[in-house]
Amino acid sequence: MRRLNRKKTLNLMKELDAFPKVPESYVETSASGGTVSLIAFTTIAFLTIMEFMVYRDTWMKYEYEVDKDFTSKLRINIDITVAMRCQYVGADVLDLAETMVASADGLIYEPVPFELTPQQKELQRMLQLIQSRLQEEHSLQDVIFKSAFKSASTALPPREDNSLHSPDACRIHGHLYVNKVAGNFHITVGKAIPHPRGHAHLAALVSHESYNFSHRIDHLSFGELIPGIINPLDGTEKIASDHNQMFQYFITVVPTKLHTYKISAETHQFSVTERERVINHAAGSHGVSGIFMKYDISSLMVTVTEEHMPFWQFLVRLCGIIGGIFSTTGILHGFGRFVAEIIFCRFRLGSYRSTSVPLPDGHTSNHLPLITDNSTH
């Protein structure tokens, strides 16, 4: 009984076989079929390798939503070198919401030479080259996001020849916290002093001949400091052509949440528009000499997430490649054989063209001779 049940089960399974096997004696092989099969296998191998490379790669997904966080503070990370002595310049932030000077106690004024060392110049040239490429190819920003990790750094290397150059400039670096509203961070002549109706700078004791707002922005970012992220103003260098010159940077800050396989942080991206002009009251160009960075906070928040292709999707795409190539090459091969048979058949019919047969009365017959059994002997 058990053997009978097994035979019934096997017979049932054979009836359900959707892939019937053809005996090898019934299979006809040809050189053209072998060539097409070789091309199909090569194409499958090539596309499989390419698909595996796509499976290993990741891409960045951007999602947008309204930023509802209005109570937290915004951190500004600053590293700017101005070609003036530290006792002549002052930096502060004017909060437009409260119309008062935000505390700038987190900034450090460090006397340094304005001229860079060869190693520092090399890094600055590299940053400027990356900035120029980012303006042409925006997709490189995804590469920067994916390569960001906490052990990397884009800051200038420390100087090794401080004794060879006298400190003729002032490096203002550090960070400060402001409200998440529009504001104005500026560096101008004189130290800032508090004032009930605004703010002022003690610039009366500094002569105009000592004004020189040539500057270099080694780093400027908003939010959490993420080493490895290159910001739009990193590596910027401006040389003043006049003592009374104003440099303006109009910045739009976008809150950004970054989630990659290497880091997860809350930072801020920003875009910037630059403008510079010489202050000349006689010519109608009014203002104050200095460096002004006017920033505004966007109401939208961007969430940047690094995504990877699921393994099941990779298998589905791989099966589609293999099955599609086999089906396509089979159709093309069959169509090619059909066309070849038609062409060869015409050539074959052309070989049996009509022949002239002489008749006893001197005429000729253009009909084909009738083949009989007697004619074969």
- In this predicted model, what pLDDT tens digit does every residue of 211-245 receive, in sequence order? 889 999 988 999 888 877 888 888 889 998 888 88
Which residues are registered as beta bridge partners of 247?
276, 291
Which tokens hold the place of 32?
Answer: 């053209």
CA 63 – CA 264 distance, rounded (Å): 15
What is the CA 1 to chain-centroid distance, rounded? 69
Q: What is the CA radius of gyration of the chain?
A: 40
pLDDT digits (tens, 9 = 90+) for 159-173: 665 556 678 899 999
Residue ranges with strand state E in the chain: 58-66, 73-82, 89-95, 100-102, 107-112, 169-179, 183-189, 192-195, 198-201, 215-223, 236-238, 245-259, 264-278, 290-297, 300-308, 357-358, 364-365
Alpha helices in the chain (DSSP H): 2-15, 31-56, 118-136, 140-147, 311-351
Question: Residue 292's pLDDT is what?
Answer: 92
> Between helices 140-147 and 118-136, what is the axis angle to 10°?
130
Question: Residue 217's pLDDT is what?
Answer: 92
Which tokens hold the place of 81?
Answer: 């070198």
Q: What is the mean pLDDT of the chain?
A: 78
| Ranges of the chain whose pLDDT falls below 70 | 1-4, 16-20, 26-27, 97-105, 138-140, 146-165, 194-200, 202-204, 346-377
**Is the pTM of the predicted complex or chain greater than 0.85?**
no
Q: Are strands 192-195 and 236-238 parallel, antiparallel or unpaired?
A: unpaired
Residue with tokens 């930023």: 67
Left if phi > 0, otherwise alpha if psi is -120 to 50, otherwise beta: which for 67? beta
Q: What percent of the chain has pLDDT over 90?
A: 11
pLDDT digits (tens, 9 = 90+) for 126-166: 888 888 877 777 666 777 776 665 545 566 666 665 556 67
Which tokens hold the place of 289?
Answer: 């000499």
Residue with tokens 């490649």: 321
